[in-house]
Amino acid sequence: MKKAEKERYTAIKESGCIATMIATGRYSQGPDVHHLTSGGRRRGWECSVGLSPWHHRGLTNGQTKQRLSGIYGPSFALHGRREFAAFFGDDDYLLRVQNEVLRIYQEMPWYGYKPHRIVFQAIREL
């Protein structure tokens, strides 16, 4: 794994789930790294975003799927690409959001704490 790739993945995991940020305006710790695809193939490590276990793999942690969907929006794994994209935006939008979050995170990291309101403001402006 390249140094830049490892640094991106680490920053994604530390900066939180972008789907949760979009849906709720809140921080969600410990996201999975989701690789964006085109034509069924990964677009490359630079095209990766952070998604919570709910958003990425549909893990419920004992809660109902309906409850989680109502609070956090659809799960990519359970609801499919179309419904996920209709709610959160297409892959290019998610990548823009992720890159903006990482840009802000590099300037003022929050390391598992609530991100500064600038992050949520930037997401709304994209």
Ramachandran angles phi, psi of 122, nearest 5°: -65, -40
Q: What is the Cα–Cα distance from 124 to 77, expressed in whole angstroms? A: 25
Q: DSSP letter for 45, please.
A: T
pLDDT class for 120, splitting at 50, 70, 90?
Answer: confident
Q: How far apart are CA 49 and CA 101, in angstroms?
A: 10
- Whether the pLDDT of residue 111 is over 70: the answer is no
- Domains of the chain with CATH codes: 3-120 (3.30.40.190)
Contact present, 34 and 17 (Cβ < 8 Å): no
Q: What pLDDT does residue 40 have?
A: 83
Question: Strand 48-51 and strand 32-35: pairing?
Answer: antiparallel
CB 46 within 8 A of CB 33: no
Average pLDDT of the segment spanning 34-63: 92
Report the pLDDT value the prediction gives residue 69, as an integer from 0 to 100: 95
Angle at which helices 91-107 and 117-125 cross, to 10°: 150
